[in-house]
Amino acid sequence: MKHLWIIWIYCGIGSSLLAQNSAEGLPISVSYFSQAVYQPGAKIGTQLNLRQWQRSYERKSNTYLKEQSIFVGPQLGFWMLPNDHRFVLLNAEIGYRYQKSRRQTFSAFSIGLGHLLQSRVESFSVDLGGGDIGDKDRVSSHHFMPSLNYAFGKAINSKISWFSRLSYGLKLASNDASRAFFLVEVGVWMNPFSSSVNQQQ
């Protein structure tokens, strides 16, 4: 039941912020999301700015802008270990991001709180006649997963940026099985309606 409350809160906050940001267009991220190359996954997300500001700085007689923002971002991710584990992560994060106009690169730091659904294959059978694997006995469990995240990216144009991101998350479990995850993302931010890369991460 507590997990439904979390989802409800996420939806409430998200829809409220979405209304505030709708005029700027909604950036969408799509990424490869995984613990390792052989544990494939995917993630989609968006980002809603709570506050934006900018300041100028000089470098080699030129003036540039450093655009900064405080943002929140709901995300839905999935990754799996073939024939083994499946993970679904519903995550919400709040963070700080800055983008330098000189090279159109950006960095973002955030903390997240997620709800992790884990489905684990406890046992299975092997057909000795043909070697087929079947009768998978799965066990599911739910966990909170706080995380620390760092993203780095570069705007390709006003509508698309690429980014990579590293997350350190802690799967919280009551049975002494809490454990850390390092998750890697590589993907793109897209905002077809944006007139400025500043709206994208």
Partner 1 sequence: MNRKEFIKQFALLGIGAPLMASLLGACDGKEDFPTVEGDFSGKVLIVGAGAAGITAGYLLARQGIDFQIVEAAAGFGGRVKRLDGFADFPIDLGGEWIHTDPSILSELISDSSVQAKVDIVNYRPQTVSVWKNNQLKKRNFVSNFYREYKFKRTTWYGFFEKFMIPRIEDKILYNRPIASIDYSADKVRATDVHGNAYEADRMLVTVPISILQQNLISFEPALPQRKMDALDSIDFPPILKVFIEFSERFYPDMTVIDGILIQEKLYYDAAFGKDAEKHILGLFVIGDYAVEYNEMASEEAVVQSVIEELDDMFDGQASANYVKSVVQNWTKEPYIRGSYSHFQADYTSTIETLVEPLGGNKLFFAGEAMVLNGDTSTVHGAAESAYQAIQKIMQS
Place of tokens 């940001």: 21
128: Cβ–Cβ under 8 A, 6 or more apart, which residues? none
Distance CA 167, CA 184 (A): 6
Q: Is there binding between residue 166 and partner 1 (CB under 8 A)?
A: no
Q: Is there binding between residue 119 and partner 1 (CB under 8 A)?
A: no
Q: How many CB atoms sit inside 10 A of residue 40's CB?
A: 15
- Residue 25 in 3-state DSSP? coil
Which CB contacts under 8 angstroms, 24+ apart, belong to 128-136?
Answer: 133/83, 136/83
- Note the residue count of the chain: 201
Q: Is there binding between residue 39 and partner 1 (CB under 8 A)?
A: yes
Q: Which of 8, 53, 109, 124 binds partner 1 (CB under 8 A)?
A: 124
Q: How many CB atoms sit inside 10 A of residue 62's CB?
A: 9
Residue closer to partner 1 by CB (options 5, 38) is: 38
Q: Is there binding between residue 177 and partner 1 (CB under 8 A)?
A: yes
Q: Which of 51, 60, 129, 174 binds partner 1 (CB under 8 A)?
A: 129
Distance CA 4, CA 12 (A): 12
Distance CA 45, CA 74 (A): 6
Question: Closest separation between CB of residue 179 and partner 1, Å?
Answer: 3
Chain center to CA of 34: 11
Site size toward partner 1 (CB under 8 A) is 31
Stretch that binds partner 1, among 17-25, 36-44, 145-153, 157-165 (CB under 8 A): 36-44
Residue closer to partner 1 by CB (options 7, 84) is: 84
Q: Which of 54, 63, 125, 140 binds partner 1 (CB under 8 A)?
A: 125
Residue closer to partner 1 by CB (options 58, 122) is: 122
Q: Is there binding between residue 121 and partner 1 (CB under 8 A)?
A: yes
Residue closer to partner 1 by CB (options 51, 134) is: 134
Residue closer to partner 1 by CB (options 107, 118) is: 118
Distance CA 72, CA 49 (A): 6
Q: Find the binding residues for partner 1 in span 138-157 (CB under 8 A).
A: none
Binding site for partner 1 (CB under 8 A): 35-36, 38-39, 81-82, 84-85, 120-135, 175-181
